[in-house]
Structure 1
Amino acid sequence: MIPILNRINELSRIEHSSGLSDTEEAEQAALRTQYLQILRGQLLTTLLNVSVMDELGNDITPKKLLDKKVANDQ
Structure 2
Amino acid sequence: MHELIEKINALAKKARTEGLTPAETEERDRLRQEYLRQFRAGFKEQLMGVKIVDAEGNDITPQKLKEEQEKRKNK
Q: Say yes or no: does 1:38 pair with 2:32.
A: no
Q: Which residue type is aligned with residue 28 of structure 1?
A: R
Match of 1:8 in 2: 8
What runs of 5+ residues in structure 1 fail to find an aligned partner? Answer: none
Question: Aligned residues: percent identity?
Answer: 32
Match of 1:62 in 2: 62
How many pairs align? 74
Q: Say yes or no: does 1:29 pair with 2:29.
A: yes
What runs of 5+ residues in structure 2 fail to find an aligned partner? Answer: none
Normalised TM-score (structure 2): 0.91
RMSD over equivalenced CA pairs, Å:
1.1
Normalised TM-score (structure 1): 0.92
Name the structure where helix makes up a greater proportion of residues: 2
Structure 1 residues 10-36: Cα deviation after superposition (integer angstroms, max 9, x where no partner): 000000001000110010000000000
Q: Which runs of 4+ in 1 moved over 4 A?
A: none
